[in-house]
Amino acid sequence: MATRYVRNLAVDTLDGPHQAARRAQLELVTDRVTPLTLAREQTLPVHDSLTSLFPDGALRRGTIVGVGGVGATSLALAVAAGPSASGSWTAFVGGTDIGLVAAGEHGVALERLLVVDPEPSVWSPTVAALIGAVDMIVISPKHRLRERDARRIGSRLRERGSVLVSIGSQWPVGADVQLDIAESQWCGIGVGHGVLQSRKVTIAGSGRGAAARLRSLDVLLPGPGGGPRTIATVD
């Protein structure tokens, strides 16, 4: 109702004699009230140690991140941890087996986490419902995704601005940012002594558009205590 009043008012005033001047004045007002943080709002922060994997050093809203290789779950949690720690909600779809303690250690805010395990028949509608309502959606589908559903989810993501992280199998129509763990080496454990402490991984990044440039990053994932850690700070 409020909008209607404003519109009527605008039309009334513009009918007056100084139409051009008033229009200019209105445009000035439009300029002033345009939000300035528009560009910044289009991205979500990522963990400091992972920034070099993403084109803008941040997660662009509305994109799909595919993660693969041995250690994909850990990488997915590390990607989700950045936005989650800064106030976003996270949803795990079909990931009831993801270790919640590990998720917490990686930096996912557990008080802003929803876990849903839908049947394959209602899988796509469930993801579609979550898009726009939560910022980070981590999926590990146990069934094959149809290409049509994948496209539909992709366009809904671009429209609503959530980020989808797909663990394991390749996203049917290609992810915007694809991160694969090429090599991994556990530290802290020996033959008969020690304990699992951290894992040195080499992440290979590829993707589409700005993310197409091949890049690679060595990082501890999980680092000591859980979350990702750059190797330099440990040395």
Partner 1 sequence: MITPVRTLVAWCPDWPVVATGVPLDEPSAVLLANRVIAASPEARVHGVVRGLRRRAAQARCPELSVHDRDEAKEARLFEPVVAVLDDITPRVEVARPGVCALVSQGPSRYFGGEEVVAGLVRERMVEVVAGRTDVRVGVADGPFAAELVARAADPIRLVPPGTTAEFLAPMNIGVLERPDLADVLCRLGIRTLGAFAQLPATDVLARFGREGQGAHRLASGLDERLPDARQPPVDWSVSAEIDPPADRIDRVAFVARSIADELHRRLGRDGVTCVRVGIRAETEHGEELIRFWRHEGMLSDAAVADRVRWQLDGWLNGSAVSRPSGGITRLALVPDELIAATGRQLGFWGGETEADQRAVRVAARLQGQLGTDAVLVPEFHGGRHCHEQLTLIPTATVELAGRSLDPGDKTAPWPGSLPAPSPTRLLPDPVVVEILDEGGVVIEVTGRGLLSSPPAQLIVKGHRKAVVGWSGPWPIDERWWDVETYRRQARLQLVTADGQALLVVLEAGVWRVTAQWD
Which residue in 230, 232, 171, 221 sits closest to 196, CA to CA?
Answer: 221
132 near partner 1, judged by CB under 8 A: yes
110 near partner 1, judged by CB under 8 A: yes
Nearer to partner 1, 51 or 202 (CB): 202
Burial 205-235 (b: 16+ CB within 10 A, else e): bbbeeebeeeeebebbbbbeebbbbbeeeee
Which one of 22, 42, 61, 100 is in contact with partner 1 (CB under 8 A)?
Answer: 100
CB of 73 to partner 1, least distance (A): 4
Which one of 42, 58, 104, 216 is in contact with partner 1 (CB under 8 A)?
Answer: 104
Encoding tokens for residue 143? Answer: 């069934």
What is the contact mask toward partner 1 in residues 197 to 226, using x (rule: CB under 8 A)?
Answer: xxx----------------------xxxxx
38 near partner 1, judged by CB under 8 A: no
CA 222, distance to chain mean position in Å, is 19
In sequence order, the 6+-apart residues with CB closer than 8 A to the CB of 166 are 64, 65, 66, 67, 139, 140, 141, 175
Residue located via tokens 């439009």: 30
191 near partner 1, judged by CB under 8 A: yes
* Torsion angle (degrees, nearest 10) of CA 207, 213, 217, 221: -10
Helices 147-160, 123-130: axis angle to 10 degrees equals 10
CB of 102 to partner 1, least distance (A): 4
Q: CB count, 10 Å around CB of 161?
A: 17
CB of 184 to partner 1, least distance (A): 5
115 near partner 1, judged by CB under 8 A: yes
Helix (H, G, I), strand (E, B) or coil at 169: coil
120 near partner 1, judged by CB under 8 A: no
Eight-state DSSP code of residue 6: H
Nearer to partner 1, 11 or 191 (CB): 191
Which one of 20, 38, 101, 214 is in contact with partner 1 (CB under 8 A)?
Answer: 101
9 near partner 1, judged by CB under 8 A: no
CB of 16 to partner 1, least distance (A): 27
- Region of residue 174 (phi > 0: left; psi between -120 and 50: alpha; otherwise: beta): left
Nearer to partner 1, 196 or 210 (CB): 196
Nearer to partner 1, 55 or 68 (CB): 68
Contacting positions for partner 1 (CB under 8 A): 1-3, 70-74, 77, 87-89, 96-105, 110-118, 122, 125-126, 129-130, 132-135, 183-186, 189-199, 222-226
